[in-house]
Amino acid sequence: MKHYPILFALTIMFFYVSACGTTAPDDAKPVTYEPEMTAEQENPFFQPSELPFEAPDFTVITNEHYLPALLAGMEQQMQEIEAIASQSEEPTFENTIVAMELSGEILTRVQRVFSNMSSAHTNETIQQVQAELAPKFAAHSDNIYLNSELFERVRTLYENKSDLGLDAEAERLIDRYFERFVRAGAMLSDEEQEKIREINSEMSSLATQWSQNMLAITRERAVIVDDVALLDGMSQGAIAAAKEAAEQRGHTGKYLLNITNTTRQPILTSLNNSEMRQRVWEASAHRGIGENGGIDNRDMILRIAEIRAKRAEIMGYNNFAEFALEVNAAQHPDAAYEMLTDMVPAVWANVQEEAEQIRDMMQRLGHDHELEAWDWEYYAEKVRAEKFDIDPDEVRAYFELDRVLKAGVFYAMERFYGITFEERFDLPVYHEDVRVFSVFDRDGEQLGLFYGDFFSRDSKRGGAWMSSYMVQNHLLEQKPVVINVLNISPPAEGEPALVSFANVTTLFHEMGHAVHGLFSDVTYPSLAGTAVPRDFVEFPSTFEEDWAIHPEVLANYARHYETGETIPQELLERVLAAQNFNMGFNTYEYVAAALLDLDWHTLSSDEIPTDVLAFEAESLARHNVDFAAAPPRYKTSYFNHIWPGGYSAQYYAYIWSEIFAADAFAYIQERGGLTRENGDHYREHILSRGGTAEPMELYRNFRGGEPSVDPLLRRRGILD
């Protein structure tokens, strides 16, 4: 997946509290704020880092620095905001909009580090800070966007922006600020604003509780195996890694299988024991429902759904989905519903064809039981192996992580964009697994820094995402510092990190987000990089995925980890031919989850059900996506994309963005494919522009027209 990180309660400002800076135009009038501190209380967040591009200095940052820096950062920004709002001068672009862009220097600096740490390498102290500050951050955001004096200044500029002599990007920034204030409730009555404040405070606490629950559930639902014979089918390396993981948790002599992000679990393709597969699948699918006295998310889900609906109603919308999608490319939930439901018949037909192939395989192997959810991927892999003669372990041998990264992902970026990556070992990191690279542009100038954190661990939440420690902007002449975080299963000590082709695709996907940040070329921080609507942000990342199967790129990185031999052409052809196999299942499980998300968020506050599981079952049945053998990618009780924030009512965005990505990639192939000319064209019109224009305007300028859905259907094998 993924995309930039879902922002949990600590970082939820609801409407993009702006980035920070250190200097400003003469009439921007920022307040100079210096936190009081003694030598013993020095905090590294109170001053810019002295490392290249102000990268975080993890040699001096400790857990104890976060709370005081976050509190001081809020205090600093509120002083600055109050000074902007109360000044006697008439509002100008510089003394109001730019001044807000420059506010909150300390807060922005510490939040960017803390946000990623709370997801990628959390601990008890960080979680305590999250819980304590969540409602304070909600109140802080409200104190900015519900400040009536400040809003009047913004509204004056918005209503007169055509007379200010500004360029298009500056006018766009005024539009964005006006939109933030209005969507925060600036035009509501005092009584309504007070209700909004109460809801925001509660929502921030619930979001923090959710994120901490999900981290705990990862440990809770791990499957402990006593007998190695039950792991028959797993590779020796995977078994060794499971034993090592168990020992790290104190289960000496046993084996631990972690439950990862989605309902399906990668290990299900390997386990020969049916009861073991069922045990793993149920550990995944029953997360968050209090099974056997475990963590139960259901009451929290119902409350989040209710207060989101109430908030939308106060704002004048029928439901939360209408509110959320208004600023997206889709604009209204009806458009998202139409796209998804129109796909169901063709996808269902594909799923049925795949199911028949799987049932036939089961019968030929002498297994006459009903096809179950925990059987699908196991037998589908056997169909794939027979149909395309593929052994997953044989294929993994050609995908060693470091080679995939350097000779695959980095190679494609160099061929297409002319950029290069040089690993550095002099910059500090927050965990020994994290790697750092300098990124150099086509002219040799350094673009910024790229961090990679690829392996799963107990302190990291599931999924994959991109974050920024610094965003590019010309206002302060700052360059980007970005990080990609994944959850690849670590190899046993001394073993090579051989990855699945799904992991390969994720590496390319997340690099798409990274270059969206690295290539940003805008003036204002709030419009930089990935600051685009949710249903457009996955376009650049999905676009990069297809370079993973480009013949030239594949031939460069798909080499045997022991012999260095290039993957045999005949095997490569089978691997590529197999990519669309099981695509009906892949699409079906995604569409089911996206429809489930929309159904939860198109409820009014008086329609919230009392039974989470019953509502889920009814929703899936109504949309004809209730095939038990192919369950939703995420069930309600662990749908991490939607409940803490992030993709609420917007999980459809992945496939909406994929329409852009598939059409763009097809267009690039028509123009000659992997060439610098094409890369420069795409970079100029999409990646460098950030949020400086409406998404469809950017796309038309790139493509010369709007996207067609046919390349998406071909990409997914639904059309020939």
Tokens representing 533 are: 């609507």
- Beta carbons of 674 and 416 less than 8 angstroms apart: yes
Q: What is the 3-state secondary structure (H, E, C) of 399-444?
A: CEHHHHHHHHHHHHHHHHHCCEEEEECCCCCCCCCCEEEEEECCCC
Phi, psi for 667 (deg, rounded to 5): -65, -40
Torsion 286-290-294-296 (CA) sign: positive
Q: Are 518 and 498 in contact (CB under 8 A)?
A: no
For residue 111 the two structure tokens come to 């939040």
Residue 517 phi/psi, 5-degree rounding, is -80, -40
CA distances from residue 437 to 403, 424, 449, 483, 537 in whole angstroms, order as listed:
15, 5, 6, 10, 24
Distance CA 435, CA 425 (A): 8
φ, ψ of residue 520 in degrees (nearest 5): -55, 135
**Which residues lie across from 256 on neighbouring strands?**
224
In angstroms, the CA 611 to CA 81 distance is 44
State the Rg of the chain over Cα. 25
Tokens standing for 45?
Answer: 């967040």
Looking at residue 585, its amino acid is F
Show Cβ contacts of residue 651 under 8 Å, excluding neighbours closer than 6 positions: 593, 594, 597, 598, 639, 641, 642
Cβ contacts of 108-111, under 8 Å, gap ≥ 24? 108/18, 108/19, 108/20, 108/73, 109/20, 109/45, 109/48, 109/54, 109/69, 109/73, 110/45, 110/65, 110/66, 110/69, 110/70, 110/73, 111/10, 111/11, 111/70, 111/73
For 530, residues 6+ apart whose C-beta sits below 8 A from its C-beta are: 4, 466, 468, 513, 516, 517, 537, 690
d(CA 513, CA 405): 15
Separation between Cα atoms, residue 627 and residue 588, nearest integer Å: 9
Distance CA 157, CA 656 (A): 34
**593, 639 Cβ separation under 8 angstroms:** yes
Q: Which of 510, 538, 589, 616 is catalytic?
A: 510
- Please, which residues have CB within 8 angstroms of residue 71's CB and are 6 or more apart in sequence? 133, 136
Verify whether residue 510 is a known catalytic residue.
yes
Q: How many CA atoms lie within 13 A of 419 on its CB side?
A: 25
Ordered strands of the 446-455 beta sheet: 420-424, 435-440, 446-455, 481-488, 465-470
The SS3 assignment for 447 reads: strand
DSSP string, 168-234: HHHHHHHHHHHHHHHHHTTTS-HHHHHHHHHHHHHHHHHHHHHHHHHHHHHHHTPEEES-GGGGTTS
For the chain, what percentages of helix, strand and coil (3-state, to nearest 5) are there?
A: 55, 5, 35
d(CA 259, CA 257): 7
The residue type found at 527 is: L
Smallest CA-to-CA distance from 561 within 323, 378, 397, 381 is with: 397
**Regarding beta strands 446-455 and 481-488, do their DSSP bridges make them parallel or antiparallel, or are they unpaired?**
parallel
List, by residue number, the catalytic residues.
510
